[in-house]
Amino acid sequence: MAAPAPRPQPLLLLLLIALLAASAPRRADAWGKEGHIMVCKIAEKYLSEEAAAAVQDLLPESAGGELSTMCPWADTMRFRYHWASPLHYANTPNVCNFKFSRDCHNSRGQQGMCVVGAINNYTDQLYTYGDSPKSSYNLTESLMFLAHFVGDVHQPLHVGYEEDEGGNTIMVRWYRRKANLHHVWDVSIIDTVMKDFYNKSLDTMVGALQTNLTEGWSDDVGHWENCANKKATCANDYAIESIHLSCNYAYKDVVQNITLGDDYYFTRYPVVEKRLAQAGVRLALILNRIFDKKKADTMPLSSSLVVERGLQSDSYIASFRGNEELCVIFCIMCMCINGIAISDISVYLEFP
């Protein structure tokens, strides 16, 4: 009788995990966790009484009553909801304009599968809140997706060039640290601003942005809220703004392996701060128009995206039951490919 195969040793398993994590390319998440939290903290301040009540009703218990705690959620779901990956961005054919009919599709050519289509779709779903009979949509997820994608569309490089995947393939140095251009706009600029001006405090930075909304940017806020035809969202306009900012700021004077320092930082961080504030104001505007039933002049957008929510990973996980070590390695590989932090592994690994 053959001897049973030896089980992988914990140390070897950890080594394999570390090697996979170090070698796998990561796809950047818009704004990073901190940026998405800031957007939603700003939005929470401007919600109407009706919208705030509806948001509280829809939030999961784990949110602790705060929308901002759930705004990074969509990035943590990329491993589970593979179909949602293209909904975080839109790419143009290396031109400085965005056209929905040309640019809003996934790699298979399915129309509406981009960040603009996603915002329109989840806005329409949320309009069914309070309907009788009860909406067939999972409106909790609709709310969390919408809040996240409104943040995404305001990150300039989430409407970037197709050839460099919104700056993901442009390797640079942020001062001395290696990064790609997309990550610089997602995370590095915000982290540096928080360190330089706000004592590394997210709440202090949010407070400063809110002060600017009532002082320095007060004359601009009305323009940010403009939306033709009384629609709840003008995501197409937000995408047009982002590609213009990508061309005029994010991509400007950047080449492969360049070192980005003070000149780039001090001329770009004001753009980042304003886009965070705009996203917060507009998210509040969208939610207020959805949930304030007294606004009869507001109408939902026509749905431009229908998704089939299949959990593609389930069949793979099932095939590994009884061999947890291999399942861990498989999950780590998938997480690295999908850009999910190793620290989030406990969310995805549950054995019976």
Domains and CATH numbers, the chain: 1-27+313-352 (no CATH), 32-291 (1.10.575.10)
Cα diameter, the chain: 82
Pairing verdict, β 171-174 and 159-161: unpaired
pLDDT tens over the chain, length 352 residues: 555 555 545 544 444 444 444 433 344 456 789 999 999 999 999 999 999 999 999 999 999 999 999 999 999 998 889 999 999 999 999 999 999 999 999 999 999 999 999 999 999 999 999 987 888 899 999 999 999 999 999 999 999 999 999 999 999 999 999 999 999 999 999 999 999 999 999 999 999 999 999 999 999 999 999 887 566 689 999 999 999 999 999 999 999 999 999 999 999 999 999 999 999 999 999 999 999 865 544 444 433 333 333 323 333 233 333 444 544 444 455 444 444 444 333 333 332 2
Alpha-helical regions (H) of 186-261: 189-197, 202-214, 218-225, 235-245
Write the CA distances from 195 to 179, 180, 188, 204, integer angstroms. 18, 20, 11, 11
Q: Are 116 and 153 in contact (CB under 8 A)?
A: yes
